[in-house]
Structure 1
Amino acid sequence: MTKLETISPNSGDADSTQSLDGTPPLVVDLDGTLIKGDLLIEGVIALLKRSLFYLLLLPVWALGGRAALKAKVAEHAEIEIPTLGFNRPFMAWLQSEKARGRQLYLASGSHETWVREVADETGLFDEVFASDGIHNRTGLEKLSVLHERFGPKGFDYAGNASVDYPIWQAARHAIVVNASARVTRWAQDNASVEHVFPRSEAGPRTYLRAMRIHQWLKNLLLFAPLIAAFQTADMLAFGQIVMGFLAFGLCASSVYLLNDIIDVADDRLHPRKCKRPFASGELSIQTGLKLVPILLAGSILLTLFLPWQFALTLAAYYAMTLAYSFKIKQIPGLDVQTLALLYTTRVVAGGAAAGITLSFWLLSFAFFLFLSLAFVKRCAELAVMRNQNKESSRGRGYLVSDLPLLDSMGTGAGYISAFVLGLYINSRDVGLVYDHPQILWALVPIVLFWITRVWLLTHRGEMHDDPVVFAARDRISLALAALSCVVMVVAA
């Protein structure tokens, strides 16, 4: 299909827009209708992912009005049109309408640059209406253009939101697509509805998936200081850590939501991550942006009942995670160290919540172990890219050719963690906690065996891209963890 031009309000006449069988043209809304998302929001995310400096520019651009803001965002942001979450059932119906000779028009409040690209990508539309740097073609302004172009009742209109109410009333027939129950009821009561393409409502499981509730398993690391210090019988400390566990979970979930929103374009191209709620379109980005502050507020509320050291640790975790999400994960080497620090921060938070002083040995062991797992995560992602015959991991700074080097660095970090464990067992500090420290030497081969097994599976391409999730589901890993607990109890 050739590149489309944006049509002017008074171009053509109503008679020239009739289909071969006399059916009036169908005008289709874009944001929330043809696609499940919003191009302006997608553009802003693309800008912020490139540089947070745009946070300062966006309010300045907005002073010129919404049309000017859309033009500026479209000028500076790049959106990969093929990755957008198109409404497939609705698209199939449009294709059938096009096949029988009906004229289709794409009318959107988004900027004309992106609207033309969408029309070119789909190959369905004869012409487009769109916003430019002066006119914001939404609501009544869009209706005015359609009236001039097609005349009263001279078109059918497909939309999804309350802003479409006056257009539905002015159209011959309304097609309701991906709308809420409230909007659908209004359209059926006040317009001539011909078709309804219902929205797939997200249930509790969808929200829990978006929050990555399974990732809360990582927060069990908060209990590590309590277990290492053999203070599990201290109910006050235990209760503090439970509250810290919940606070950390809510905080982490708010970050996971934000991270998935930032990475939505990359996730749509990933064979597994494309099924995440935002990438698949099960949840809108707008919904995610509302949930982020709600979850964060719940986390902050819980920290009010915990020591200030815990609140400080949680704030450091949040700051590191934001830095990782926006920039650090694209920097090879620094990304895996940051991941290791984020894991280790959970151990520090557990000590802060319970008032337990952490030893140098525990922190060193934790950092090198988690550094190894961070390399596992990167290698697992690159293995997927290799199987797809791609040269790099999208959104990261690594090449598939880096795999052998990352394998060796990750294995080395894991073996160093076992070495640190051995040094701890041979230190004077161990005698302060354990009556039979020599029994602890059994932990070294257990750790070495687990690290070796994890890396063998990673090298074979059989590792989950989140090694912590793998460990929580793997029976051998769970058995080794139980055996380690037995060794520690006997040594005590």
Structure 2
Amino acid sequence: MSSFGHKVGRTAAALVVSMRPYQWSKNLVTFAPVLFVNRFTDPLAVAKVALAFADFCILSGGVYLLNDIRDLDADRMHPRKRERPIAAGRLSAATAAWAAVALLAVGLMAAWTLDRLFFAAAAGYAVLSLAYTAGLKDAVIVDLLVVSFGFVLRVVAGAVVIHVEASSWVLICTLFLALLLSLGKRRQEMLVLEADAGLHRRNLQEYSVQFLDYLMLLVTAGALMSYLLYALASGRHRYMGITIPFVLYGILRYLYLAFQKGEGGSPAELLFRDRGLLLSTALWVASAMVALVLER
């Protein structure tokens, strides 16, 4: 292969890495509506949600590229993020910018083609994510809420693409869980960067590990209470209580890893690296399917 071919291959590989495929697992929440409205055995509905999932992977890939361009200098001071292709110099900012624009354009055009309401949700996610990258990520508390509402918009998108209502219970549970994961990530950044945290991200100097610990415990209580009420007292499902043990274990396992092992920095990576979290998630999905099949 020619040197030009090698260069193209290296650039393509760097682009893929910068799109962070390991983070695309976050987009799996688009499947929540098709599960909870009991249409997970409907091939057409599942296919539409799968396309929605793929579209969000494209959109989030473009956002990640722009985020890495914006955080270029800060990432070079981070012990892990400095290995990212743009920060490490393996991918030029100009190439990343063009690729990001192309991905966002393709993602939005695909969303428009798939469904108009889905396009509205996808466009809302893109605007929110770009606003986060542009400056909201430096606003204390707001940064956590923006990331969390990004998850909520994914769930809404998964509902509208199959023309069903997004349950307020599912949205509330999603919001609390996303807040918990966002807080765990901020807490890990504080622990890793220590005194240099404020240099990496301006708003980190406004946080403290103790404050984040308090918020994590508060949000955990909200997440658990919301799910318990949804499963047992919402009147929407008769057998969803069988899923509660797996939700309890999963959340407690995450807290154990975050507080005792200092591993809350990347929930997406942690999900596939930790057998306990992966198993509890798989058992929760399986038990939810059983509960919903019993309701038919």
What TM-score, normalized by structure 2, do the two folds share?
A: 0.90
Check whether the contact 1:274–1:280 (CA below 8 A) recurs between aligned residues: yes
**For each residue in 1:153-197, what CA deviation from the matched residue of structure 2 results, as whole angstroms up to 9, or x when unmatched?**
xxxxxxxxxxxxxxxxxxxxxxxxxxx967xxxxxxxxxxxxxxx
State the identity as a percent: 29
* Alignment correspondent of 1:462: 262
After alignment, is 331-340 or 201-210 more displaced? 201-210
Of 127, 150, 161, which residue of structure 2 is paired with 1:353? 161
Q: Secondary structure at the match of 2:38?
A: coil
* Alignment correspondent of 1:336: 144
Question: How far, CA to CA, are the matches of 1:356 and 1:430 in structure 2?
Answer: 15
* Alignment correspondent of 1:122: none
Gaps of 5+ in 2: none
Question: How far, CA to CA, are the matches of 1:310 and 1:405 in structure 2?
Answer: 37
1:255-270 superposed matches below 5 A: 255-270=63-78
1:328-477 superposed matches below 5 A: 328-386=136-194, 389-390=195-196, 392=198, 394-399=200-205, 402-431=208-237, 434=238, 437=239, 440-460=240-260, 462-477=262-277
**For each residue in 1:363-398, what CA deviation from the matched residue of structure 2 results, as whole angstroms up to 9, or x when unmatched?**
111101111111011001111012xx5363622412
Q: Per residue, is there more strand in 1 or in 2? A: 1
- Aligned Cα root-mean-square deviation (Å): 2.3
Equivalent residue pairs, number = 290
Higher relative contact order (CA 8 A, sep 6+): 2
- Aligned-pair CA distance for 1:300: 2.2
- Aligned-pair CA distance for 1:458: 1.7
Post-superposition, which runs of at least 4 consecutive aligned residues in structure 1 deviate over 4 A?
A: 198-201
1:25-40 superposed matches below 5 A: none
Q: Secondary structure at the match of 1:392?
A: helix
Check whether the contact 1:471–1:477 (CA below 8 A) recurs between aligned residues: yes
- Aligned-pair CA distance for 1:418: 1.2
1:139-154 superposed matches below 5 A: none
Gaps of 5+ in 1: 1-179, 183-197
Q: Name the CA shift for 1:301/1:345 in 2 (closer, same or farther; >3 Å).
A: same
1:231-310 superposed matches below 5 A: 231-310=39-118
- Aligned-pair CA distance for 1:399: 3.1
- Aligned-pair CA distance for 1:278: 0.3
Q: Name the CA shift for 1:238/1:199 in 2 (closer, same or farther; >3 Å).
A: closer
What TM-score, normalized by structure 1, do the two folds share?
A: 0.56
Q: Name the CA shift for 1:274/1:397 in 2 (closer, same or farther; >3 Å).
A: same
Q: Name the CA shift for 1:418/1:286 in 2 (closer, same or farther; >3 Å).
A: same
Question: How far, CA to CA, are the matches of 2:115 and 2:223 in structure 1?
Answer: 30
Q: Secondary structure at the match of 1:232?
A: coil
**Residue 223 (1) aligns with residue 41 (2):** no
- Aligned-pair CA distance for 1:459: 2.2
Question: How far, CA to CA, are the matches of 1:374 and 1:230 in structure 2?
Answer: 29
**For each residue in 1:128-149, what CA deviation from the matched residue of structure 2 results, as whole angstroms up to 9, or x when unmatched?**
xxxxxxxxxxxxxxxxxxxxxx
- Aligned-pair CA distance for 1:284: 0.6
Q: Name the CA shift for 1:429/1:306 in 2 (closer, same or farther; >3 Å).
A: farther
Q: Name the CA shift for 1:405/1:306 in 2 (closer, same or farther; >3 Å).
A: same
Q: Name the CA shift for 1:351/1:331 in 2 (closer, same or farther; >3 Å).
A: same
Q: Per residue, is there more helix in 1 or in 2? A: 2
**For each residue in 1:93-136, what CA deviation from the matched residue of structure 2 results, as whole angstroms up to 9, or x when unmatched?**
xxxxxxxxxxxxxxxxxxxxxxxxxxxxxxxxxxxxxxxxxxxx
- Aligned-pair CA distance for 1:242: 1.6
Question: How far, CA to CA, are the matches of 2:71 and 2:271 in structure 1?
Answer: 25
**For each residue in 1:41-67, what CA deviation from the matched residue of structure 2 results, as whole angstroms up to 9, or x when unmatched?**
xxxxxxxxxxxxxxxxxxxxxxxxxxx
- Aligned-pair CA distance for 1:221: 1.0
Question: How far, CA to CA, are the matches of 2:112 and 2:121 in structure 1?
Answer: 13
Q: Secondary structure at the match of 1:429?
A: coil
Question: How far, CA to CA, are the matches of 2:84 and 2:92 in structure 1?
Answer: 11
Check whether the contact 2:184–2:264 (CA below 8 A) recurs between aligned residues: no
- Aligned-pair CA distance for 1:428: 4.7
Q: Name the CA shift for 1:393/1:369 in 2 (closer, same or farther; >3 Å).
A: farther
Check whether the contact 2:187–2:264 (CA below 8 A) recurs between aligned residues: no
* Alignment correspondent of 1:485: 285
